[in-house]
Amino acid sequence: MNTTWSRFNIVSLVLGFAFLYLPIVLLVVYSFNESRLVTVWAGFSTKWYVSLFNNQPFIDAAWVTIRVGLISATVATVLGTLGALAMTRYTRFRGRLLFSAMIYAPLVMPEVITGLSMLLLFVAIGFDRGIWTMVLAHITFSMCFVAVVVQSRLVTFDRSLEEAAMDLGATPVTTFFRITLPVILPAVVSGWMLAFTLSIDDLVISSFTSGPGATTLPMRIYSQVRLGVTPEINAACTILIAIVAVGVIIASIANKRREVQKARDEQAAARN
Amino acid sequence: MKSLGSFRRKFAPWNDPEAKPFIAIENVTKKFADFTAVDDLSLNIYNREFFALLGASGCGKSTLLRMLAGFEEPTAGRIQIDGQDMRGIPPYKRPVNMMFQSYALFPHMTVEGNIAFGLKQDGMQKGDIEARVAEMLKLVKLERFAKRKPHQLSGGQRQRVALARAVAKRPKVLLLDEPLGALDKKLREETQFELMDLQMKLGLTFVVVTHDQEEAMTMADRIAVMDKGKVMQVATPAEVYEAPNSKFVADFIGNVNMFEGTTAAVGNGKIDIAVAPENLTIRTEASRSCTIGQPVGFAIRPEKIRISRKQPADSSINSAYGEMWDIAYFGDMTVFHVKLESGRIIKAASLNAVRTVEEPLGYDDMVWVNFDTDAGIVLTA
């Protein structure tokens, strides 16, 4: 492996990262701007954060976002996991190909179409739009992602674990909750986190399916920006970035630790 | 304590017409779509027997084991365990436990947790579970590893945990799917005897599936040799080796020289077989009734063939002359490949009973091979 840094490598690395992160860095830096004008630096200040927490519509929108995220991610995880189980377990049922294609289709469906079709459905059946229609819509698109994540874990799942449990006297239900679920739990949790993340930053589908009084944070930010970007929005975005970044960092550290520990354990086991 | 052999010598319930089989497999067929894995198979297994299902992969032995465990339902036929019809009884209600080839240890539970799992399903008292787990850990000598997770154990230790977990519930029958398949040779040999010891101690019926004939011969009271979903022969290891009932079994178990010929003379309890291309006459005990001119097979094990530079006294029967073609030295014994004029290779094995031989047989020696009239066996199937 080439370990020396050529000038070309350095330049391409710097350009690549700049392309990815410069906009975000700018956003974060300007959230600490004293000035009301977004593009003019007038000194360091945290006043926009203070004013953000006094901005009731923003706080309300944040709560709506979190509620929609929690409910939809949880329901989507249950449904997605069941779907993944059905797809990996009953490999020989008729129409399986159609079924799996139908689970994958929403992954590549343009959001506008998903949102519009949900809107038409809610109008047709006379379902008043609000937080619950939004929750339903979020479940619909995020359960497919959960199904894909969980399915990839189930493919490598050793079925003899379940057989062993049943052989030892566990009923199928006990087997699922005591053996299958604990073993695939990391995949189910990442499925949930993915669904939650997708839900909290969705704008298009939310816009189509929400009603009066149910505005999510992305919708609020978007509508504010149309009236002009304020440092307050920068502050809100910075907080969102911080939350996501901390989550990602914790998850990857925990993952890395587990792997290192497992490798160490296996080496120790091989020695004795 | 009495030795294992003292029990084993007397143990032969299959010869007792009064004995009731513990596991009765009656005309069982299992089909997967258009593939027949088990084909109209009948088999009786007796209480406390160590029974081996031996066969190449795809012969249906694992499918049969899975039907005993309840993971597969027979397409036709009946399985009875301890007098109870097993049709429609799910795995979790059967009086059998299984040790899986992959061990199938629960990765999220400790060694203790794995062993206790089955006991918890039975609703056993906490104190009783702890006592039983401790007993099982002692049985497989894993007391020090009780709190470890499966990935913190070596292969041999995992195998013991799997075994302890499977016998913890004191099942009537223990099913073992290639129990030693994942262990290295040395460990496998040790473990074979441990398994036999354990089976005797606990007084269980063992049904083991294996493709390793040495393993089956060492451990089992009886072996069922399987091919294409059918049982070819059920007998003790010695019978299967010394008195195979077909060319398939003779060829499958151990090393063998197989001749094809026609009976030339029958009488005096002997049969003469003419083997055409080598112009050989084989005179052997008439273990099967034959008529003159009938095409038959003749099987003889390499260790029952003598090899020498000297011409035998009567070289008209059971003798052949040829060139030393290959020598395989195993330490304990040497297998010589002798090439006859016709091109046929005859394998002859001799025990290396002394450390040095004055004039050892070498490559390019011309040698005689010969054998006694009771050394081989006539096969008509």
**ipTM for the complex shown:** 0.83
Asked if CATH classification 2.40.50.140 holds for the domain at B255-379, the reply, yes or no, is: yes
Query: How far apart are the CA of A139 and the nearest CA of chain B, in angstroms?
Result: 30
Q: Cβ distance A200 to A69 under 8 Å?
A: yes
Query: Is A163 within the bounds of a domain?
Result: yes
Q: Which residues contact A207 (CB under 8 A, 6 or more apart)?
A: A115, A219, A222
The CATH number assigned to the domain holding A99 equals 1.10.3720.10
Does residue A65 lie in a domain region?
yes
What chain A residue is nearest to B99 in terms of C-alpha separation? A164
CA separation for the pair B84, B95 (Å, rounded): 10
Q: How far is B117 from chain A (nearest CA, A)?
A: 7
Architecture in CATH for domain B4-95+171-248: 3-Layer(aba) Sandwich (3.40)
The answer to whether residue A20 is domain-embedded is no
Number of domains in chain A: 1
Cβ-proximal residues to B92 (8 Å cutoff; 6+ apart), any chain: A166, A167, A168, A169, A170, A171, B121
B165 in Cβ contact with B112 (< 8 Å): no
- Does residue A98 sit within a domain? yes
Distance CA A254, CA A258 (A): 6
- Could you say which residues from 133 to 172 on chain A have a Cβ atom under 8 Å away from some Cβ of chain B? 158, 160-161, 163-171
| Any domain includes A39 | no
- B308-342 burial, b at 16+ Cβ within 10 Å, e below that, comes to eeeebeeeebbbbebebeeeeeeeeebbbbbebee
Q: Give the Cα separation of A233 and A237 in Å (integer).
A: 6
Can you tell me the distance from the alpha carbon of B205 to that of B193, in angstroms, rounded to the nearest whole number? 16
pLDDT in the model for residue B126: 93
The pLDDT of residue A3 is 66
| DSSP-derived 3-state class of residue B166 | helix
How many other CB atoms are found less than 10 A from the CB of residue A175? 23
| pLDDT at residue A91, as a whole number | 64
Q: Is B85 helix (H, G, I), strand (E, B) or coil?
A: strand
The answer to whether A82 and A240 have CB atoms below 8 angstroms apart is no
Q: Domain map of chain B by residue range? A: 4-95+171-248, 255-379
> The tokens of B119 are what?
């006991």
Is residue A261 domain-resident? no
Cβ contacts of B118 within 8 Å, gap of 6 or more: A168, A169, B97, B165, B168, B169
Which residue type occupies B220? Answer: A
* Cβ distance of B121 and A174 shorter than 8 Å: yes
Domain that holds residue A79: 55-228
* Angle, vertex CA B169, rays to CA B163 and CA B171, nearest 5: 85
Within-domain flag for A215:
yes
pLDDT per position in chain B (381 positions), as tens? 455 555 566 788 888 888 889 999 999 999 998 899 999 999 999 999 999 999 998 899 999 999 999 999 999 999 999 999 999 999 999 999 999 999 999 999 999 999 999 999 998 999 999 999 999 999 888 999 999 999 889 888 999 999 999 999 999 899 999 988 878 888 888 888 888 888 888 889 999 999 998 889 989 999 999 999 999 999 999 999 999 999 999 999 989 999 999 988 888 888 889 888 878 888 988 877 788 888 899 999 999 999 988 888 888 889 999 999 999 999 899 999 999 988 899 999 999 888 888 788 888 789 999 999 889 999 887
Q: Answer whether A272 sits within 8 Å of B152, measured CB to CB.
A: no
- Report pLDDT for B230: 93
Rounded Cα distance, A181 and A161, in Å:
12
User: Chain A residue closest to B173 (CA)?
Assistant: A167
pTM greater than 0.90: no
Chain B residues close to A173, C-beta within 8 Å: none
Q: Looking at residue B175, what is its pLDDT?
A: 95
Provide CB contacts within 8 A for B70, sequence distance 6+: A167, B86, B89, B90, B91, B93, B94, B96
Please answer yes or no on whether A262 and B151 come within 8 Å at the CB atom.
yes
Taking an 8 Å cut-off on Cβ atoms, the answer to whether A166 and B104 are in contact is: no
The answer to whether B302 and B335 have CB atoms below 8 angstroms apart is yes
Q: Is residue A205 part of a domain?
A: yes
